[in-house]
Structures are given as structure tokens and as C-alpha cells.
């Protein structure tokens, strides 16, 4: 077993009311099996319409001296001690889910506009946007200026919830794309591979694709040239759950898989509800450990990232 890193995670609370916590930010130490809550997200400036929507904090990224965390329509910057530095808004950022950094650019999913936005970490400004649409079977990517009022109209056809960027390019997907999409330098959008409807966190991994198959309650790794591996999402006894059976479509069900980060070429961290983070060994295809934050079924993991080594003492 590897020496497991600390992880930073965000959570959202579906169905919470004004004045209640809508989630938080936590540091998880798997070696010590401890959870340290750093931020309680209880802002009153939240749109209460719709399913999870504006509740809670979402994607996470790091720079050398800051933590970047997305809320629904705002990008927050915190110091390593979680003191607030600044926040940034853009009219085309709505219902943001995951974010990803490549060099000095942050890429953010804007679910409410079927778009990907890019934020320049040097100029601290939104500099680029890509609007996704489809013409028959052909995906179309249209660039736009996020500072121009002539950008795309608000839509949510594909529910974009994931973006990942590596040396090979930009990959993104949503609940309704039914594919992991790849963006080329000339803005051509192609299908890297097919996906089941309703999945989260799809990204290239180990020569294949890795994702939370949320509808099937498993984390799924599909290599190109060998058999796929699936690991079930943790489930708890009904009697242990809080708010179980509340008849409200905004309540996250048990086993809702979302949130993921790759630790190395073997181990992956994956989130689920009620807020639980599991470490999965995909060499063996099994869960090796897990930490539960709460048994409140409304409380679901969203963002997951490895806590930076240079901040290990914090």
C-alpha cells in the first residue's frame, strides 16, 4: 500500500434551506483517517431554484501560493491557510462544476451555457470561451469572447460537468454528451470514446478512460485493449443514514458517485454520497480504504484534488 496523500475535497448539500450549510471544504488525511473542515459554505446569496444548482462549492485547483475553488457562478481564490484573497465573476459562468489548470490557464465548465471558459491566472481575467453544440452527429465548438455581450445564450443541453487538460489536449464531457469529447487546436471537437448517459468525471487514464458511472453506482475504468474494471460505490445501512426517505427531487441519493482525482497510474480517489471519499487500486480493481465525512444523505462530494506537498505541514 502506498503512503496516501492528503486530499482536499468540496461538498454540496442538496435540499438545504436558507441559513443552513450548503457544503464545505475539507482536508482528508487517509493515513490518520481524519477530516479537517476548513470552510463552511453557508452564504445566503444562493439561487434556490432547481436541483443542486447553486448550493455548495465545486471544482478545485492549486497554484504555487493559492487555492482556487469554483462555486456555481464565481471563482474563489484562497491562501494556503484558507483565508480569502479574491473572487471573480463572469456573465457566462453559470452552474460551474469542475475546473482544471494547465500552466497559467484555468479551464472551467459552465454548465448553464454549454460552454468551457478559460481564466488567465496571470491577468486574473476570463479570456476565452468555447460554446458546444451539435449538428446531427457532428459536434461543433464555437469560440467566443467572455467579455463580449454577444456571446452564447443560456442553455443546458449537455450539462457539461467535467474538463481535464494534459499535454495531449482538452477533454470534456457532460451528463448528456454520451461521449468524452476532445478539442483540437483548430477547435475541432471529436469523440474520444463513448460514455453512458449521466456519468461524471470522465477523463483519459492508463491508455483508456476513467469515470464515475453514476447511474450504475460504480467507478469504471475501460482500457483500450483489455477488460474493464469496475469498483462499487460504498453503500451504508439505511438505519445509519440521515435524511433518508425525504421526498424531494433535490436530495442526493445514497451511492451517487461524483468527484475524482488521479493519485498515480494505479490509485484513484473517488467521491460519493453521503459524502465519502474512497481510494481505489485499479491494478487490483478494488477499494482499499475510505473516509466518510457525514451520514447526511443530502451531502455529496464534488471536487477532489491532492493537497500540495509544499503545504503538507498545514
> In angstroms, rounded to a whole number, what is the distance separating the alpha carbons of residues 19 and 149?
34
Provide the domain limits for residue 52.
6-311
Task: Give the Cα separation of 163 and 186 in Å (integer).
Answer: 18
* Number of other CB atoms surrounding residue 236 within 10 Å: 15
Q: Is residue 55 part of a domain?
A: yes
Residue 248 has a pLDDT of 52
Residue 288 lies in a domain: yes
> What's the alpha-carbon Rg for the chain, to the nearest Å?
18
Asked if residue 274 has a cis previous peptide bond (ω within 30° of 0), the answer is yes
Residue 44 has a CB neighbour count (10 Å cut-off) of 7
Torsion over CA: 172, 178, 184, 189 (sign): negative
pLDDT at position 224, please?
86
Please tell me the distance from the alpha carbon of residue 303 to that of residue 258, in angstroms, as a whole number. 8
Would you put residue 206 in left (φ > 0), alpha (ψ -120 to 50) or beta? left
Q: What is the CATH number of the domain that holds 44?
A: 2.120.10.30
Q: Which residues of the chain have pLDDT under 70?
A: 1, 14-22, 42-55, 246-252, 312-314
Q: What is the pLDDT of residue 252?
A: 64
Residue 1 inside a domain? The answer is: no
Q: What span, in angstroms and rounded, lies between the C-alpha atoms of 60 and 221?
A: 22
Cell matching residue 118: 478559460
Q: What does the pLDDT look like over 101-160, one tens digit per residue?
A: 999 999 999 999 999 999 999 999 999 999 999 999 999 999 999 999 999 999 999 999
> Can you tell me the distance from the alpha carbon of 71 to that of 49, in angstroms, rounded to the nearest whole number?
16
Domain count for the chain, please give it: 1
Going from the C-alpha of 156 to that of each of 4, 60, 64, 114, 242, the distances in angstroms are 37, 22, 34, 6, 31
| Whole-structure pTM value | 0.92
Amino acid at each position: 500500500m502506498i503512503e496516501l496523500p492528503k486530499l482536499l475535497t468540496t461538498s454540496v448539500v442538496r435540499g438545504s434551506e436558507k441559513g443552513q450549510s450548503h457544503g464545505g471544504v475539507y482536508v482528508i488525511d487517509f493515513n490518520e483517517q481524519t477530516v479537517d473542515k476548513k470552510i463552511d459554505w453557508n452564504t445566503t446569496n444562493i439561487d434556490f431554484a432547481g436541483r443542486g444548482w447553486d448550493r455548495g462549492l465545486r471544482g478545485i485547483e492549486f497554484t504555487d501560493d493559492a487555492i482556487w475553488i469554483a462555486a456555481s457562478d464565481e471563482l474563489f481564490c484562497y491562501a494556503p491557510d484558507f483565508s480569502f484573497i479574491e473572487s471573480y465573476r463572469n456573465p457566462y459562468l453559470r452552474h460551474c462544476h469542475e475546473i482544471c489548470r494547465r500552466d497559467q490557464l484555468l479551464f472551467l465548465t459552465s454548465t448553464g451555457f454549454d460552454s468551457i471558459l478559460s481564466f488567465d491566472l496571470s491577468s486574473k481575467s476570463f479570456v476565452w470561451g468555447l460554446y458546444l453544440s451539435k449538428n446531427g452527429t457532428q459536434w461543433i465548438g464555437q469560440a467566443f469572447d467572455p467579455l463580449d455581450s454577444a456571446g452564447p445564450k443560456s442553455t443546458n443541453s449537455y450539462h457539461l460537468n467535467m474538463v481535464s487538460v494534459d499535454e495531449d489536449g482538452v477533454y470534456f464531457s457532460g451528463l448528456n454528451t454520451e461521449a468524452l469529447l476532445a478539442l483540437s487546436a483548430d477547435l475541432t471537437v471529436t469523440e474520444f470514446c463513448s460514455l453512458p448517459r449521466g456519468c461524471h468525471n470522465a477523463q483519459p487514464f492508463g491508455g483508456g478512460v476513467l469515470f464515475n458511472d453514476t447511474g450504475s453506482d460504480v467507478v469504471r475504468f475501460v482500457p483500450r485493449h483489455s477488460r474493464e474494471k469496475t469498483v462499487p460505490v460504498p453503500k451504508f445501512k439505511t438505519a445509519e443514514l440521515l435524511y433518508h426517505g425525504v421526498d424531494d427531487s433535490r436530495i442526493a441519493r445514497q451511492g451517487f458517485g461524483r468527484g475524482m482525482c488521479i493519485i498515480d497510474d494505479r490509485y484513484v480517489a473517488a467521491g460519493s454520497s453521503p459524502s465519502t471519499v474512497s481510494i481505489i487500486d485499479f491494478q487490483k480493481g478494488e477499494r482499499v480504504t475510505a473516509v466518510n465525512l457525514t451520514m447526511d444523505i443530502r451531502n455529496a462530494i464534488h471536487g477532489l484534488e491532492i493537497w500540495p506537498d509544499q503545504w503538507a505541514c498545514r
